[in-house]
Each structure stands twice: as structure tokens, then as C-alpha cells.
Amino acid sequence: MIVVAVVGPTATGKSDLALDLAEALSAPGAPAEIVNADAYQLYRGMDVGTAKVPPAERRGVVHHQLDVLGPLEDASVAQYQAAARADLEAVDARGARAVVVGGSGLYVRALLDHMDFPGTDPQLRGELEERAEREGRRALHAELERLDPQAAASIGPHNTRRIVRALEVIAITGAPYTANLPRQEYVRPAVQIGLDCDRATLDARVEARVERMWRAGLVEEVAALASPAQGGHGPGLGRTAARAVGYAEVLELFAGRDEDAVRADITANTRRLARKQMGWFGRDPRVRWLDAGSPTLLADALAVVEAADAGTLPAPGSEPVRRSLGS
């Protein structure tokens, strides 16, 4: 069964649409299930600041990949890929529809597309780094150019870290480095529905979301997670969790920053995140864009799913260009 993914920038209503779709696409004895693709909603306790749908508001729809990490753990795209793909397999085996929802572009790609994560070899990497010091990075780049000209042209001769990584991957896999790069090619049938809105509307939505989060207890949530050394009274926020928009700024509040300045920073950084997300998803011609504010949004989304199921969706790039977030 075709996987339905709801993607796009933050504050466009992806979670609400995913729930609506899950209800509408459920069949007798095979209710649709949701698979999260938001990197920070993986964390237990990070609820308010990630706009995680509370259990009481999930309408009885089963959710996967929520609350699977402790706040001190570092999220791994490779681990997420394995776990979330297993969820898709299990949902499909039950004869049910999977609805993926999230704005973390790399996680969406890792789940839906051909994307491999070669391992690492510390000894080999150390040897390559030592060679870079001894022979110079241009010597390693010349070797990469011989083994994988496309990778060498893409990386260039000045980025030692990426040159070393490319040579490490080639040695580990026995294949060109470029063979392991993600391709816009689904590993299982899927359709992506993107939610779009104009900049002024999105900015207003972001501002309203930050206000709701503040009232809902964002500061208290961060305090309950952060360690005493971070200004809280909890176990601590790890490197990844502490970088999340909202959490990073509240940690600065605990360090003595002005509250109004912190709230303004959260709003500005959330807007910046939304533009970054739109840039990521906007480069994927397979995304079918819909107006997030349309009164017929659910019907429009169901029409996309129906066309995907029937194999009648227009080829990527053949539809009118979507409205730009910055227009």
C-alpha cells in the first residue's frame, strides 16, 4: 500500500492533516497508523517545544517513533531509518495505511528514499588523516579523483574532512562514494503531500505557536529536562536535544538572558527553520504542494492519495510551479 507522507515547514498544520488523513484512510479492521519523521519528537519529555500531539488528542490513532529517546541521547538518522522502516513494514503487514508526518527533511528522505549509511573504521580514518597531514590534502584529492571523479569534483580539493570520509567509505564498501549518496527514489511506493502558505501567514502562525508554547509551559518543560548545571532540575539535555529551537533559547534564559529577548529569538529562529525546511522540500519535485489554509485541504489531500493509488498522478515537474514561501 502506498505510504502517504505529510511534509513541509513548521506551523503549517502537518499533524492535524496527518490525523485527518489517518481517519479518512482507515479501513475496517485496518486503521491507518502514523509514523513520526520529526527529529525532536523522538525525545521523551520534549512535548511542548516540539508541538507533539498529546496522547489525548491523537484520536485513537496509533503513533510510531514518538518518545523513543531519552533527552541525553543523540539522535541517529541511521538508527531512525532502521526503526521507522520496520514500522512501515509492520503497518503494511497489517494491511493498513502508513501516514508519515514531519518536517525533518533528512529523516523523511532516510525513511522513504534509497539512502545508505556506511559504517566507520576509526583506524582507517586515522591513517587517512595522517596521510593528509604528511602528503597534503591535494594528494588525497588526486586519489579520490582516480577512484570516484564525480565525488572529487563535488567535494573539491580543500575540504580535508569530506575527502577523508569519501576515501573511507570507498575502502569500506568497495563502491564509489557517490553510490552511497541519497537518490530521489522511493524504497517503497509513496506520495508526499507538502503544506505551503505565504510568508506573512506563516510568520503569523509561528508567532501564535510560540505564544501558545510559552503559555503551555515551555520554560517549565525545559527546566524539568535540563540538568542543574544547565539551569534546570532534571537529568540534562544532551548535545542534540539542547540544540532544538525553543530549548536552546530557554537554556539561555536560565543563564540570565532577558525573557523578551529569548521569546523574540525563539520566534525568529522558528521562522528561519521554516524557511530552511521549505528550501529542503522545495527542491524535491515529487512533493505535491497544497495550500495549508485551504478550506478543502483534506479533500484536496485525499484526491492526491486517490490519484497516487490509481497511478494517475502527473509526473513530477509537469504540474504548475508551487507558490513560493518567500513570495
Query: Which of 53, 52, 62, 55 is closest to 26 using CA atoms?
Result: 62
Residues 226 and 79 occupy one common structural domain? yes
Instruction: State which amino acid sits at residue 154.
Output: S
Q: Is 299 annotated as a binding residue?
A: no
Pairing state of beta strands 183-186 and 190-196? unpaired
Residues 108 and 141 occupy one common structural domain? no
Q: Does residue 217 fall inside a structural domain?
A: yes
pLDDT at 325 over 50: yes
Give the SS3 label for residue 289.
Answer: strand
Residues 99 and 155 occupy one common structural domain? no
> Do 181 and 188 touch, CB atoms closer than 8 A?
no
**Residues contacting 62, CB < 8 A, separation 6+:** 31, 33, 34
Q: Find where cell 496509533 sits.
A: 62
Cell of 171: 575502502
Phi-psi region of 145 (alpha: psi -120 to 50; beta: other; left: phi over 0): alpha
Q: Does residue 140 fall inside a structural domain?
A: yes
Q: How far apart are CA 16 and CA 151, in angstroms?
A: 41
Residue 179 pLDDT: 84
Residues 270-304: tens digit of each pLDDT: 999 999 999 999 999 999 999 999 999 999 999 99
Residues 45 and 126 occupy one common structural domain? no
Residues 107-131: tens digit of each pLDDT: 999 999 998 888 889 999 999 999 9
Residues 50 and 85 occupy one common structural domain? yes
What is the CATH number for 203? 3.40.50.300
Give the SS3 label for residue 260.
Answer: helix
Residues 8 and 129 occupy one common structural domain? no
- Count of structural domains, the chain: 2
Q: Is 8 annotated as a binding residue?
A: yes
What is the CATH number for 134? 1.10.20.140
Residue 277 pLDDT: 96
Q: Does residue 327 fall inside a structural domain?
A: no
Q: Does residue 126 fall inside a structural domain?
A: yes
The radius of gyration computed from the CA coordinates of the chain, to the nearest angstrom, equals 22
Q: Is 276 annotated as a binding residue?
A: no
Mean pLDDT of 24-32: 97
Residues 92 and 231 occupy one common structural domain? yes
Of all residues in the chain, the percent with pLDDT exceeding 90 is 91
Domain final residue, candidates 145, 163, 181: 181
Residues 75-114: tens digit of each pLDDT: 999 999 999 999 999 999 999 999 999 999 999 999 999 9
Q: In what order do the strands lie in the sheet with 63-64?
A: 63-64, 33-36, 98-101, 3-7, 190-196, 287-291
Q: Is 14 annotated as a binding residue?
A: yes
Q: Is 28 annotated as a binding residue?
A: no
Domain final residue, candidates 139, 155, 181: 181
Residues 258-274: tens digit of each pLDDT: 999 999 999 999 999 99
Q: Does residue 319 fall inside a structural domain?
A: no
Residues 131 and 163 occupy one common structural domain? yes
**Residues contacting 204, CB < 8 A, separation 6+:** none
Residues 128-175: tens digit of each pLDDT: 999 999 999 999 999 999 999 999 999 999 999 899 999 999 999 999
Provide the residue range defining the domain that includes 164. Answer: 122-181
**Residues contacting 61, CB < 8 A, separation 6+:** 19, 22, 23, 31, 32, 33, 34
pLDDT at 252 over 80: yes
Mean pLDDT of 162-190: 91
Residues 137 and 278 occupy one common structural domain? no
Q: Does residue 320 fall inside a structural domain?
A: no
**Angle, in degrees to the nearest 10, between helices 14-24 and 297-310:** 60
Q: Quote the mean pLDDT of the chain.
A: 94
Q: How far apart are CA 141 and CA 110, in angstroms?
A: 28
Residues 287 and 158 occupy one common structural domain? no
Q: How far apart are CA 312 and CA 293, in angstroms?
A: 25
Q: Is 240 annotated as a binding residue?
A: no
Residue 315 pLDDT: 86
Residues 34 and 145 occupy one common structural domain? no
Q: Is 136 annotated as a binding residue?
A: no
Residue 319 pLDDT: 62
Q: Is 11 annotated as a binding residue?
A: yes
pLDDT at 327 over 90: no
- Say whether pTM exceeds 0.85: yes
Q: Which own/partner pairs from 138-144 qualify as long-range (CB within 8 Å, at least 24 positions apart)? A: 140/164, 140/167, 143/167, 144/170, 144/177
